[in-house]
């Protein structure tokens, strides 16, 4: 394999696969699993990820995955809703991992890695945008919402080409948030319920919907970015149907601490969450650096 001035994404990743070299080959293998599950017309494709990538430019890649049919179901964290709402109406800024956090706090900035989120562009903005949506739904007779229904309503209200929630709503891709209360939007749900005591979040309905999706699928596959509750919820539900047929992990976590986030695909096989015969790959990498390459490869191979 040689360095090149002009890159053809398929030749690049196929060359990395042939050349070997630790994570270079794994990068190509993840891309190939994504292509395989996308070509399987009987496969329901899950995508799970934590909230942080949605604060970055990777949000656009996730939107493209939805728009181009690489995703059928999303499972994510509450902060995904926070960042998607906030970034629809306001800006985040480049920062640095080494910035003075005490100074940032005094000046009204939140730091997320090397990103800066002005305080007014986050919590207060989310409150201004979410409360009217909840009030409208309540006035129309809604007394409970599943996280799936909430995501659809938010997506329809945002109505932005840059919004992940909007893209999923337009493409009828359900978004499930098993930890819905753990974020700014979750806090708005709690706040709304203080004045509307009949209002409820129906997590059981989410589980019913997930059950229907899993048991209604001939085969299932998943692209799992990072870890946490989003990763586990995808794996856990697929356990009940004999495990995933395709699974690819993109992670920076290690397995020696016994964490779910660090657990490799092979550990999920022992639980029955992934089939013994499944096509699998694990890539140790930070998703913002590699997912654009993986998705570009897949879309090129699929002709989309």
Q: Taking Cα atoms as reference points, which of 215, 290, 282, 303 lies closest to residue 12?
A: 290
**8 A C-beta contact, residue 246 and residue 211:** no
**Separation of alpha carbons 176 and 275, rounded Å:** 23
- For residue 282, the cross-strand partners are 249
**Separation of alpha carbons 267 and 272, rounded Å:** 9
**Separation of alpha carbons 107 and 157, rounded Å:** 31
What's the N-to-C CA distance of the chain in angstroms?
27
Of 45, 129, 231, 273, the catalytic one is 273
Residue with token string 């059950």: 211
Residue 273 is a catalytic residue: yes
**8 A C-beta contact, residue 259 and residue 227:** yes
* Helix-helix angle 9-19:23-39, to 10 degrees: 120
**8 A C-beta contact, residue 211 and residue 237:** yes
Residue 133: CB atoms within 10 A of its CB come to 18
**8 A C-beta contact, residue 224 and residue 73:** no
- For residue 94, the cross-strand partners are 115
Q: Point out the residues that are catalytic.
A: 273
């Amino acid at each position: 394999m040689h360095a090149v001035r002009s890159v053809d994404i398929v030749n690049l990743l196929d060359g990395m696969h042939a050349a070997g070299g630790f994570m270079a080959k794994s990068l190509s293998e993840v891309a190939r699993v994504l292509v395989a599950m996308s070509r399987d017309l009987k496969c329901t494709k899950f995508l799970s990820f934590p909230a942080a990538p949605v604060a970055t430019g990777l949000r656009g890649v996730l939107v493209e995955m939805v728009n181009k049919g690489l995703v059928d179901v999303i499972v994510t964290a509450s902060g995904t809703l926070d960042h998607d709402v906030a970034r629809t109406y306001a800006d985040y800024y480049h920062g640095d991992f080494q910035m003075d956090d005490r100074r940032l706090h005094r000046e009204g900035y939140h730091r997320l890695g090397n990103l800066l989120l002005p305080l007014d562009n986050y919590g207060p903005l989310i409150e201004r945008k979410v409360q009217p949506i909840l009030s409208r739904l309540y006035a129309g007779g809604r007394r409970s919402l599943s996280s799936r229904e909430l995501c659809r309503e938010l997506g329809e209200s945002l109505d932005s080409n840059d919004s992940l929630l909007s893209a999923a709503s337009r493409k009828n891709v359900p978004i499930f948030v098993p930890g819905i209360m753990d974020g700014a939007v979750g806090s708005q749900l709690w706040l709304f319920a203080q004045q509307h005591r009949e209002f409820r979040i129906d997590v059981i309905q989410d589980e019913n919907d997930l059950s229907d999706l899993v048991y209604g699928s001939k085969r299932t596959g998943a692209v799992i970015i990072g870890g946490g509750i989003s990763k586990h919820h995808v794996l856990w539900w697929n356990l009940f149907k004999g495990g995933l047929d395709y699974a690819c992990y993109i992670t920076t976590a290690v397995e020696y601490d016994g964490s779910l986030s660090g657990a490799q695909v092979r550990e999920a096989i022992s639980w029955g969450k992934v089939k013994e015969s499944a096509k699998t790959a694990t890539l140790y990498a930070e998703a913002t650096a590699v997912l654009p390459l993986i998705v570009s490869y897949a879309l090129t191979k699929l002709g989309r």
